[in-house]
Amino acid sequence: MSLKIFLSAAMWVICGTLSAQTLDTRIACTQTLQEDADGERLIYSDQARMQLNGSQIKEFQWESSVFRSNRGHECSIDTEDGLEAELTEKGWRIRLKNAQSARQKRGYDVERGSQCSIRLEREGDALHIKPTCPALCGSRRNFSELTVNTKTGLCTYE
């Protein structure tokens, strides 16, 4: 077998494996924590629907909130924000095509930058959700980082 044929076959196998990655999950997580020495109670709450087939986003919606005794903060992202998915070795990286436009569409007036990337990494039944997306948060700095067991629905906040 020539090197050219071998490399072509290897690339076909790799690309076929990556494009076969799918995710179809719903997430509903809530956790109450004590924040500091003052004992202020924080309630983290995340609801999401993620449906991906390779690099195609069929549905993506995530609301991530943190509530304090006297106020709440929320971040949200959905398919209509202009998302694109990239396959990675461990799962996907979701990002905004135009973060500034998505932010303006929401009416946010405070500059938070144009960074928005959400890594979805699988490890067995665990789905690690690692956001770096201040662009779609109002007064909150970022979405919650969490791990969800896709079989049981149990959540762990990082």
pTM here is: 0.81
pLDDT in tens, 68-112: 877 778 889 999 999 999 999 999 999 999 888 888 887 776 566
Listed in sequence order, the residues at least 6 apart from 93 whose beta carbon sits closer than 8 Å to its beta carbon are 85, 86, 117, 118, 119, 120
Per-domain boundaries in the chain: 3-157
The CA-CA-CA angle for residues 10, 19, 118, to 5°, reads: 120
* pLDDT of 113 higher than 70: no
| pLDDT over 90, % of the chain | 56
Rounded Cα distance between 158 and 151, Å, is: 19
CB 91 within 8 A of CB 122: yes
Tell me which H or E stretch contains 87.
Answer: strand 83-87
